[in-house]
Amino acid sequence: MSAEQGAHPADPGRSVMALSPPRWMRLAWLCLGIAGAVLITVLATASGNSALFTRYYTELLVANALIVAGLAALVIYQVMALLRARRDAVFGAKLTTRMMMFFAVVAVLPGALVYSISVQFLASSIESYFDTRIDKALETGLQLGRTALSQPLKDLLRKGELIADGLAAAPPAEARSTLLRLREQTGVGNAALLTASGATIAQATENVLAPPPAAPSALEMRQLRAQQRVTAVDAAGESGLQLKAMVPISSNESTPFRVLVLTEPVPAALREQSERVEAGFRDYQELSYQRVALKRLFAFTLTLALMLALLTALALAAVFSERLAQPLARLADGTRAVAAGDFSRRQPVEGRDELSVLTQSFNTMTTQLADARDRDAANRRAIETSNLYLENILTNLNTGVLVLSDDFTLRVANAAAAVVLQARIDERVGTALASWADAEPGLAAFAELITRQFAQAGAADWQREQELMISGNARTFIVRGTRRVVADVAARIIVFDDITEVLQAQRDTAWAEVARRLAHEIKNPLTPIQLSAERLEMKLLPHLSGADAETLKRGAQTIVNQVTAMKDMVNDFAIYARRPRPGSLQPLDVAALLRETLELYASYPVNVTLAWQAGKCVIRGETTRLRQVLHNLMQNAVDACADRADAAVRIEAEQRETPGHPGERELVLRFCDNGGGFSDAVKLRAFEPYVTTKPKGTGLGLAIVKKIIDEHKGRIQLDNGVPGGAIVTVTFPLLVEENAAS
């Protein structure tokens, strides 16, 4: 598509008006047209009156030139405006171009033919007024007059050379007397001796009142210094012509350079004849000059008439094209409005021609389009309402939802999917499932599970409970998949949820019930058993001796120790099963509680450092239970690296924005040691009772820690450091300043 076809004017109606000449240009057309008509009349009058023509020739020539230049400027302006309109794809510009070309051809071709014929005819007619034989005769007579004056000039030059020789031989003091004597001897009318600068040294003349001769011109002086003789025929004022000869006088060491100037009047008869020849030649030259001027003026006049015809043609083309383009412009304006979505435009119908029928059809079309748009808008609103309803449901669901294309490319993912998987699922939209592992390795197992289950189930629905590692923790998911075809487009829908907390709650409930029963069934008999063993030892030990006494003592101590161990285990179960007391959670300064706990480990052979970069952090918690969490995590870290010579424990603290909850912040505590780290088996079951890496212990430590952290709406995560050691990360939600102050 070309640029003219692809471009559209923003306002077709205004564009059509832009093609018509502006008001000032119409006034200029009118003024120049009237001036041109008046000037043509004046030229017709002046051509028959040579005196009038000669008197006002310059004015007529300037008036012709100005009017022709003005008309040419208007024509160029109109053409440039049309070219600019075509470049900007102004509506109606092409139609105006065609009409201007048509009118210009109609006006200019005949006018150009008449113009060329008229110019040739005027040139031949004016030239016929002047006979070339007369021209040659006048030039010959002028040449003869000049030849007749050459002989007296030669005689005057010869006399000048004689006088110059005499002056050169005479002393400078006798120059005046020598000049008078030599002038009388040669019969010269006027003789003068001049310096190199043109000043008069001496003058000898028949007429005492005669003025001194004019100084030689610069050109004449250069010729004289080059020892050349100079002759000329000069005007002598009212007396007519005079002959003039200039001779240089050679200089020496004692005499500077001088010039001898001789003048004589031309004889009266010869002067009169020469003047008549020159006057006739001047008259003929004047007539000849008028001939050229007359031809030039007529040429300007014809050019003026041609420019008037061309400008009139362009003006008529602009007017007619404007009238023809106005109905089309209104339709184009309506078309632009329809393209912009405005179907309310109704164009006026004028007349009964084909354009009126087209306008009526356009109005009918816009009415139908407006009705269709209203129906479409109603349907779109219904669809948008339905989509918004569905989107709100997906957004507020706690269950993750993924929609894949048939080639396993992610199309839709709700916010819960990112929360459950703890990954930026929204960044994976538009990518294939197979590439997820490259961007986020933690999603590799999840992507492999979906691919495998769809391959095994085929077109059937499937459901699978699977344990996956998410952010270093074992999480249990229940995943459901289905394949549906909607509007001939196949989609794979995956719905999944993290049931780890549900399973953990079930296990916690079971263990809590076990703990309560243990406390009820076992703890009560333990004290009588311990007391009975101690009493037996106290009563029987004095009556036994030797090996029997030692056996009794060892047996009683074993009973007491085992009872104590069972009491500790029952106490741990009681702590695990205990529920938080209502109202026990209060604003708590974590930094102060952590520093208080670390003071207990100052005497340990372990390098303990605290890197607190979180500022002031206040959470809502129970001091006793959180102290138990910190103490348990510190004890585990110290025990893990106690057998190393460079044992070190580092606690790091920082604040950050809560993932998935803009505007909320959380405290992150990391307990890092340089011990042996966690094995994969331990990481999977670390928070379950009876799971421990210590040779002694009940395995309830991390289970209790996890339960307390959950009660405080926190999170705990186990990782292995690089190159070794363990990292336990605990996260607590922070209180805002207003709530903390209250």
- Tell me the pLDDT tens digit for each residue of 602-635: 888 889 999 999 888 899 888 888 888 898 898 8
pLDDT (tens digit per residue) in 73-103: 777 777 787 778 778 777 667 777 777 777 7
CB 507 within 8 A of CB 577: no
Strand partners, 469: 474
233 or 659, greater pLDDT: 659
Q: Has residue 439 got a pLDDT over 70?
A: yes
Contact status, residue 531 vs residue 564, Cβ threshold 8 Å? no
| Residue with more model confidence, 525 or 741 | 525
* pLDDT tops 50 at residue 741: no
At residue 690, the pLDDT reads: 62
Q: What's the confidence (pLDDT) of residue 3?
A: 39
More confident residue, 736 or 3: 736
Sequence-distant (≥ 6) Cβ neighbours of residue 547 within 8 angstroms: none
Determine phi and psi for 717, rounding to 5 degrees: -145, 140
What is the rounded average pLDDT for all residues in the chain? 76
CATH class assigned to 150-265:
alpha beta
What's the mean pLDDT in 457-477? 80
What value does the mean pLDDT take over residues 201-223?
A: 78
Q: Could you tell me if 249 and 258 are in contact, meaning their C-beta atoms sit under 8 angstroms apart?
A: yes
State yes or no: pLDDT of 409 exceeds 60: yes
Provide mean pLDDT across the span 266-274.
Answer: 65
Q: Could you tell me the two tokens for 526?
A: 């333990």
| pLDDT band with cut points at 50, 70 and 90 for residue 36 | low
CATH 3.40.390.10 fits 397-498, yes or no: no
Domain limits, the chain = 3-130+285-338, 150-265, 348-394, 397-498, 505-577, 586-741
Is the model more confident about 35 or about 655?
A: 655
Sheet holding 241-249, edge to edge: 200-205, 190-195, 258-265, 241-249, 230-235
428-437, 689-698, 710-719, range with the lowest pLDDT = 689-698
E runs forming strands in 158-213 = 190-195, 200-205
145 vs 374, higher pLDDT:
374
The more confidently predicted of residues 499 and 671 is 671
- Mean pLDDT comparison of 121-135, 160-174, 383-397, highest-scoring range: 160-174
Band (211; pLDDT cuts 50, 70, 90): confident
Q: Do domains 150-265 and 586-741 have the same CATH topology?
A: no
pLDDT tens sequence across 364-379: 888 888 888 888 888 8
pTM: 0.38
Of the listed ranges 178-192, 296-310, 406-420, the least confidently predicted one is 296-310
User: What is the Cα 682 distance to its own chain's centre?
Assistant: 59
586-741 in CATH: which number? 3.30.565.10
Tell me: pLDDT of 652 over 90.
Answer: yes
Closest CA relative to residue 329, chosen from 3, 7, 14: 14
- Above 70 in pLDDT, residue 682? yes
